[in-house]
């Protein structure tokens, strides 16, 4: 079982990032629904799982991170800021500005902490697979490649070509997370393209697949702790069951909040909900 202090700290980190997302959403339009659904997953990756040196983003032995769910750039940037890559204020100042490092999609031409630019959904996993293959060619290389996918982008054929390739080449250094919020841009996944049980599908392709509550930090930490070693022969995927717009009642499970902008009053109400939920769970301490 995960250490309770670690879990509480990560939960607190996730709350802080959600509050910063809402502040940015008051400033400009962002993909707030998907950002909120993947916050807990992203917090565990960046604040717990990743072996990373913020002073040297090109460090050869670092773990790599690929955002296949390209619209979740804001929650990625805030996690990088929390890790120490840059300041929160830089994000607010530069978001969606000319030559700014932060925007609707992550861009490695402007941001050295981004390994690969992603935007057209469904291409991050193939890139991550290629990076994992490249690392395997280096003797005794222990780095992992983490990638975060949306469940909607698993409609795309390139994703399943990458899934098959990772199994064929025994890429145990590849770890995928699926933000399984059951929502696509314009409706539920069942309405748009029902992919059935994703855990079963990945297992059929030979992956080590685990299904967890994507809003339970304890479960996420336990799952990361139990991942096969990077030099294993089986790629891993964590299917994180989540809620789009999680934590904010009027955003939750609504495709209308795929992207949006809020006013100050709405932000304050959403913040109150999030803080109250955290206090119910952990108390005032």
pLDDT digits 0-9 by tens, 31-66:
999 999 999 999 999 999 999 999 999 999 999 999
- The conformation of residue 66, written as its DSSP 8-state character, comes to E
Q: What are phi and psi of 171, to 5 degrees?
A: -90, 75
Give pLDDT, residue 140.
Answer: 65
| pLDDT for the residue 244 | 94
Q: Containing domain of residue 116, as a range?
A: 4-282
Residue 259's pLDDT is 85
DSSP summary character for residue 103 = S
Looking at residue 104, its pLDDT comes to 80
Q: Which residue has the tokens 């962002």?
A: 30
Query: Residue 12's domain is classified under what CATH number?
Result: 3.40.50.970
pLDDT digits (tens, 9 = 90+) for 132-179: 999 998 866 789 999 999 999 999 899 999 999 999 999 999 999 999
Q: Distance of CA 194 to CAs 29, 182, 190, 203, Å? A: 29, 9, 4, 18
pLDDT at 189 (0 to 100): 72
Low-confidence ranges of the chain (pLDDT < 50): none
Q: How much is the pLDDT for 162?
A: 97
Residues 6+ apart with CB under 8 A from 140: none
Distances in Å between the Cα of 178 and the Cα atoms of 106, 166, 212, 218 are 18, 16, 10, 17
Residue 183's pLDDT is: 78
pLDDT for 88: 97
Q: Which residues contact 80 (CB under 8 A, 6 or more apart)?
A: 46, 86, 113
Per-residue model confidence (pLDDT) at position 120? 66
C-alpha–C-alpha distance, residues 35 and 69, integer Å: 10
pTM, two decimals, is 0.94
- What's the total number of domains in the chain? 1
Q: What's the confidence (pLDDT) of residue 40?
A: 98
The whole-number pLDDT of residue 192 equals 75
Torsion of CA 118, 120, 122, 126, to 10 degrees: -50
Nearest Cα to Cα of residue 247 among 71, 14, 88: 14
pLDDT value at position 187? 73
Position 103 scores a pLDDT of: 81
Per the structure block, which two tokens stand in for 115? Answer: 């390994």
User: Does residue 133 sit in helix, strand or coil?
Assistant: helix
Report the run of H or E that residue 159 belongs to, with start and end. Answer: helix 157-168
Task: Tell me what pLDDT residue 177 has.
Answer: 98
The answer for residues whose C-beta is within 8 angstroms of residue 26's C-beta and 6 or more apart is 261, 262, 263, 264, 266, 267
CA distance 195 to 188: 11
């Amino acid at each position: 079982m995960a250490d309770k202090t670690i879990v509480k700290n990560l939960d607190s980190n996730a709350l802080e990032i959600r509050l910063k997302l809402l502040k940015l959403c008051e400033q400009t339009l962002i993909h707030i629904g998907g950002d909120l659904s993947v916050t807990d997953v992203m917090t565990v990756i960046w604040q717990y799982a990743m072996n990373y040196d913020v002073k040297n983003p090109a460090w050869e032995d670092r773990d790599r991170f690929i955002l296949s769910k390209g619209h979740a750039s804001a929650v990625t940037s805030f996690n990088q800021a929390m890790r120490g890559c840059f300041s929160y204020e830089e994000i607010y100042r530069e978001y969606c500005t000319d030559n700014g490092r932060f925007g609707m999609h992550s861009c490695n031409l402007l941001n050295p902490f981004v390994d690969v630019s992603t935007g057209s959904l469904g291409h991050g996993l193939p890139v991550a697979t290629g990076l994992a293959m490249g690392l395997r060619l280096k003797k005794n290389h222990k780095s992992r490649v983490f990638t975060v996918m949306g469940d909607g982008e698993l409609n795309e054929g390139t994703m399943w070509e990458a899934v098959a390739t990772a199994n064929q080449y025994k890429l145990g250094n590849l770890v995928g997370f699926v933000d399984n919020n059951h929502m696509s841009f314009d409706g539920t996944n069942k309405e748009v393209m029902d992919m059935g049980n994703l855990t079963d599908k990945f297992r059929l392709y030979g992956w080590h697949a685990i299904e967890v509550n994507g809003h339970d930090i304890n479960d996420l930490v336990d799952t990361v702790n139990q991942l096969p070693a990077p030099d294993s022969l089986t790629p891993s995927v964590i299917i994180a069951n989540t809620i789009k717009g999680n934590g904010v009642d009027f955003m939750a499970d609504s495709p209308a909040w795929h992207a949006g902008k809020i006013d100050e009053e709405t932000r304050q109400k959403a913040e109150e909900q999030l803080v109250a939920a955290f206090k119910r769970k952990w108390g005032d301490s």
